[in-house]
């Protein structure tokens, strides 16, 4: 009987889920609608963030986070994630995914200061095209057809955590089974409608 101890295969564990209704979407100066993602344990006095741990990690791992549909089969969602909008590369923002690197001594990835960009219905097709160009389709499910696009639920989304581990012997990246968060429910802000009465008041009449 072989009693040799085998090392457990690495797997992803979600330490903290995103708050289900914690994304406060606001209209930015450039017209984009976005909001910061916070953790489910956030309070009025202390903000926390979604967090994962890669259990049994012995080397370097690369984490890729993207938006997927809230219902199965999980497919790429047009909403985008981004970080450090002011200082980052605009090309990275168009892809709609965020990346992180973790190591064995602290195998934790925290989605701190990550924002979700709400994509309007008229921009869905372009956003899905951006995602396809990366490409990021965690579960390999069929891409959206033109006939299906209008049926995508824009008011709910999940985060998908894909992890790739660097094999210390071959140097090649090996994928771990993707892990999916609980749903995030979104309420886009109501656009301000300027009426003739508003214009009169603004002019001091």
Tens-place pLDDT, residues 108-159: 999 998 999 999 999 999 999 989 888 899 999 999 999 999 999 999 999 9
Number of domains in the chain: 1
- 126 in a domain, yes or no? yes
C-alpha distances in Å from residue 35, one per residue of 10, 83, 85, 183: 32, 11, 12, 16
CATH number assigned to the domain comprising residue 33: 2.60.40.340
- 133 in a domain, yes or no? yes
More confident residue, 169 or 131: 131
- 3 in a domain, yes or no? no
Tens-place pLDDT, residues 18-69: 999 999 999 988 888 999 999 999 999 999 999 999 999 998 999 999 999 9
The verdict on pTM exceeding 0.95 is no
Listed residue (180, 183, 185) closest to 25, CA to CA? 185
Which positions ≥6 away from 132 have C-beta within 8 Å? 76, 143
DSSP class of residue 121 equals G
- 36 in a domain, yes or no? yes
- What is the 3-state composition of the chain as percent helix, strand, coil, each rounded to the nearest 5? 15, 30, 55
Query: Which tokens sit at 122?
Result: 């008229």
Which positions ≥6 away from 200 have C-beta within 8 Å? none
Which positions ≥6 away from 145 have C-beta within 8 Å? none
- 110 in a domain, yes or no? yes
Region at 190 (left for phi over 0; alpha for psi -120 to 50; beta for the rest):
beta
Q: Which residues pair with 100 in a beta bridge?
A: 63
- 204 in a domain, yes or no? no
- Domain holding 36, by residue range, is 11-185
- 45 in a domain, yes or no? yes
């Amino acid at each position: 009987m072989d009693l040799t101890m085998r090392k457990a295969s690495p797997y992803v564990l979600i330490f903290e889920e995103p708050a289900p209704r914690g994304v406060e979407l606001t209209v930015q100066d450039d017209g984009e609608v976005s909001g910061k993602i916070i953790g489910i344990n956030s309070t009025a006095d202390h903000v926390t963030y979604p967090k994962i741990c890669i259990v049994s990690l012995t080397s370097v791992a690369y984490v890729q986070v993207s938006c997927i549909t809230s219902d199965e089969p999980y497919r790429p969602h047009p909403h985008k994630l981004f970080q450090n909008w002011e200082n980052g590369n605009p090309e990275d923002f168009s892809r709609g995914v965020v990346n992180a690197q973790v190591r064995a001594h602290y195998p934790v990835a925290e989605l701190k200061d990550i924002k979700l960009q709400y994509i309007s219905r008229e921009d869905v097709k372009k956003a899905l095209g951006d995602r396809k160009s990366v490409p990021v389709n965690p579960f390999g499910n069929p891409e959206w057809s033109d006939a299906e696009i209008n049926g995508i639920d824009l008011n709910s989304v999940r985060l998908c955590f894909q992890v790739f581990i660097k094999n210390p012997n071959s140097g090649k990246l090996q994928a771990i089974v993707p892990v999916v968060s609980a749903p995030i429910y979104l309420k886009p802000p109501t656009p301000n409608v300027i009426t003739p009465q508003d214009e009169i008041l603004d002019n001091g009449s």
